[in-house]
């Protein structure tokens, strides 16, 4: 169980960031997507290697109209 | 010298030769402006990037992505802002796909951040998401006015510059703060004319002119623009560019307002370069008095 964008999320714990991004139906190359775990920015280059810990607070963000 | 505050009359002692040389130069310059595509012959340079359009467009508030795309085209803008938010599976269409199709560059913002820490993290995330070092830095201190929080803004700007970002801070109309932001390495300053989305125009034109004098980087009037004449005034005051969002996106006809803003910015830039006449309390006849007949 992780906290994804403020909500409890069943999948993701113990998986690499890339797997979560793919599960969410987002482009695997990550264009327009950014991920932070517990306030730390996870660069795209680390999406394969970085495993999400159980209970982690994950933010998955993308472009939105604004400004 | 501050254009607005100046009431001193231009000297009448110019020789005819100087005057006609000036006229020839001005007319050549005007032809350059008017000829062809109305393109500005002196593109705006921000951190090594050249922008032909002096209009920055915010993407917020448009009723649809079609309306946004049409407004980008009508505005001629080459640089548009985007925000970073949690993914929304119900969001209609892809904003990024639309912006890429229009061929514009992205300027991610840190809208919604109230602390330097949050703004810095948001900027880092935006760099990852959009692969750009550019950031429109917003750190607000008040929910009702969305006015910038000066100490937090300065702190975030300094840190982001250190991390290699090209920082364009949304700031108050305080010339001292603008100078401090440039001192820490900001590539431009974006002073507000009035609160975001208020449409109240430029509340303190004297301060905007003072900021233009105080810093050597581009000044982009941001926030408060309500209609085309506000954008023209910004350019007449010496701003290098104008950023609009709500004024276009929430207009009854966004495409028409986008086109109006484009013309307004060009008009203001031309007028600024042309050199306005001084303000006088009394009339100065534009028709010669010599040769007036006497019917007595």
**Residue B136 annotated among the catalytic residues of the structure:** yes
Of A31, A41, A64, Cβ closest to residue B125: A41
Identify the closest residue of chain A to B68 by CA–CA distance: A65
Residue B259, SS3 per DSSP: helix
Contact A66/B82, CB-based, under 8 Å? yes
Question: Alpha-carbon distance B290 to B293, whole Å?
Answer: 9
Angle (CA) B59-B60-B61 rounded to 5° is: 125
Instruction: Give me the catalytic one of B136, B180, B212, B262.
Output: B136
pTM of the shown model: 0.84
Contact A66/B128, CB-based, under 8 Å? no
Q: Which residues of chain A have pLDDT under 70?
A: none
Structure confidence at residue B14 (pLDDT): 43
- Number of residues that make up chain A: 67
The CA R_g of chain B, rounded to the nearest whole Å, is 21
- Provide the pairing of β-strand A2-4 with A7-9: antiparallel
Q: Give percent of chain A with pLDDT exceeding 70.
A: 100
Nearest C-alpha of chain B: how many angstroms from A37?
A: 11
Average pLDDT per 10 consecutive residues for chain B, totaling 296 residues: 45 47 53 46 87 94 94 96 88 83 95 96 94 96 94 98 98 97 98 96 97 96 97 96 96 97 96 93 90 90
Structure confidence at residue B42 (pLDDT): 82
Question: Alpha-carbon distance B194 to B223, whole Å?
Answer: 6
Whether B212 and B236 have beta carbons less than 8 Å apart is answered as: no
- Number of residues that make up chain B: 296
Tokens describing residue B15: 């020789």
Question: Alpha-carbon distance A3 to A12, whole Å?
Answer: 9
Question: Alpha-carbon distance B296 to B292, whole Å?
Answer: 12
Angle (CA) A44-A21-B110 rounded to 5° is: 60
């Amino acid at each position: 169980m992780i906290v994804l964008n403020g909500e409890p999320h069943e999948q993701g714990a113990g998986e690499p960031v890339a797997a979560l991004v793919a599960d969410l139906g987002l482009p695997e190359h990550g264009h327009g997507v950014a991920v932070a775990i517990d306030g730390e920015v996870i660069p795209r280059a680390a999406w394969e290697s970085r495993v999400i810990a159980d209970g982690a607070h994950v933010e998955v963000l993308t472009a939105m109209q604004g400004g | 010298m501050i254009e607005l505050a100046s009431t001193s009359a231009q000297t009448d002692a110019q020789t005819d030769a100087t005057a006609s040389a000036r006229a020839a130069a001005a007319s050549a310059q005007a032809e350059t402006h008017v000829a062809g595509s109305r393109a500005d012959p002196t593109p705006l340079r921000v951190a090594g990037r050249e922008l032909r359009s002096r209009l920055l467009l915010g993407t917020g508030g448009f009723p649809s992505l079609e309306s946004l795309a049409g407004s980008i085209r009508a505005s001629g803008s080459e640089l548009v802002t985007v925000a970073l938010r949690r993914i929304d599976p119900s969001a209609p269409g892809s904003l990024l796909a639309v912006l890429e199709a229009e061929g514009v560059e992205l300027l991610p913002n840190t809208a919604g951040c109230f602390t330097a820490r949050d703004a810095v993290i948001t900027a880092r995330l935006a760099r990852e998401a959009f692969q750009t070092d550019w950031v429109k830095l917003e750190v607000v201190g008040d929910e009702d006015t969305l006015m910038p929080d000066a100490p937090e803004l300065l702190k975030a700007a300094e840190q982001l510059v250190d991390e290699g970002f090209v920082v364009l801070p949304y700031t108050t109309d305080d010339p001292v703060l603008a100078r401090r932001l440039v001192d820490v390495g900001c590539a431009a300053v974006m002073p507000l004319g009035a609160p975001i989305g208020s449409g109240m125009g430029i509340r303190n034109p004297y301060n905007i002119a003072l900021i233009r004098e105080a810093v050597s980087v581009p000044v982009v009037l941001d926030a408060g623009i309500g209609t085309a004449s506000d954008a023209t005034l910004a350019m007449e005051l010496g701003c290098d560019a104008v950023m609009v969002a709500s004024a276009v996106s929430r207009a009854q006809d966004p495409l028409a307002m986008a086109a109006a803003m484009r013309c307004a910015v060009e008009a203001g830039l031309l007028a600024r370069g042309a050199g306005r006449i001084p303000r006088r309390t009394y009339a100065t006849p534009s028709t010669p008095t010599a040769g007036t007949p006497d019917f007595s």
